[in-house]
Amino acid sequence: MEISRLLASAVVLALLFWVLPVRADDTLTWLVVAETPFNESDTTGIPISLSDISVAWFEKEITTLHHSTLHTTLLRAVKFISSSDCYCSPNFYKTAERSKTMIFSQEMDRSLPHRIIVQKARLADFSPFFDREGRVKLASLLNNADLHAVRLAGASLGPELDPLFARHRLWIEEVVRLDDSAYRRLMAGRLAWIIADALDASLSIARQPHPGAITTLAIAEQSNLQPSYVACSSGPIGRAAVVQIDRALQSVGDRAPWKAVYANMLDPDSRLELQRLETEAAKR
């Protein structure tokens, strides 16, 4: 099965290139951001991400360049892509700020809107910020510094939410890795809420000792699917890579292997929401 072969290839790449490899001049280095959601390999037990799957596919499809892979943090990925000429990374949001130092492929995927993650026992704390449909009005929530929040450092949350967070940088805590320690702090009452990608939220909650004690809230300002892209350095190698990436994406269309993996990794409610939003988007 094609997806199984890609999963196996991604595991091998993750093991071989965990540290920064030595590059030849014509080598494109793929940056796999470690914070992206993980899926367990059936054969090895090595955790791999959606980005691992997409990078393995791109390396197979793009034969005009040599490839290497580096697993890193989002902050380092942004720095590498912005300051060199030979890096690319999948699943990036395209923003005006990033476009100053990066170039982007055509759209590679669409994901669910971000979610606010809270303890069910503290839902009453958020009721003043609900709209009529039960979604959180994030602009109002961000004005309440008493409800301590955390987000992933360096992450774009999309064009609707980034401007809101830009006005509240002083009191929103940013962490290099949004891992289980944040959820432990949430359950201990040291955090009031977390904002995260919908899939990351779903998988992280499922890993917790008491997942039923945690819930997620929709955000009023972000109700549509979020497009993501391959971000590349703006130098000659990056530009050459984007040409090949776009050709590969045009060829594969909706059959891209990471699309099915993404949908299958969602919890049932989120999968239904994805189907609903995809149907709505197709009608526009």
Shared domain for 256 and 279, answered yes or no, is yes
Query: What mean pLDDT comes out for the span 78-86?
Result: 94
3-state SS record for 148-214: CEEEECCCCCCCCCHHHHHCCCCCCEEECCCCHHHHHHHHCCCCCEEEECHHHHHHHHHHCCCHHHE
Spell 124-158 as b/e; 16+ CB within 10 A means b. Answer: ebbeebbeeeebbbbbebbeeeebbbbbbbbbbbb
User: What tokens were used for 142?
Assistant: 């961000």
Among 187, 217, 247, give the residue marking a domain's end: 217
pLDDT digits (tens, 9 = 90+) for 250-284: 999 999 999 999 999 898 999 999 999 999 988 87
Which residue range is the domain that position 253 belongs to? Answer: 2-111+225-283
Q: Which has the closest alpha carbon to 267: 197, 202, 194? A: 202
Shared domain for 197 and 238, answered yes or no, is no
Residue 101: give its domain's CATH number.
3.40.190.10
Count of domains forming the chain: 2
pLDDT digits (tens, 9 = 90+) for 139-196: 999 999 899 999 998 889 988 999 999 888 767 899 988 889 999 999 999 999 999 9
Shared domain for 20 and 121, answered yes or no, is no
- pTM for this prediction: 0.83
Shared domain for 120 and 143, answered yes or no, is yes
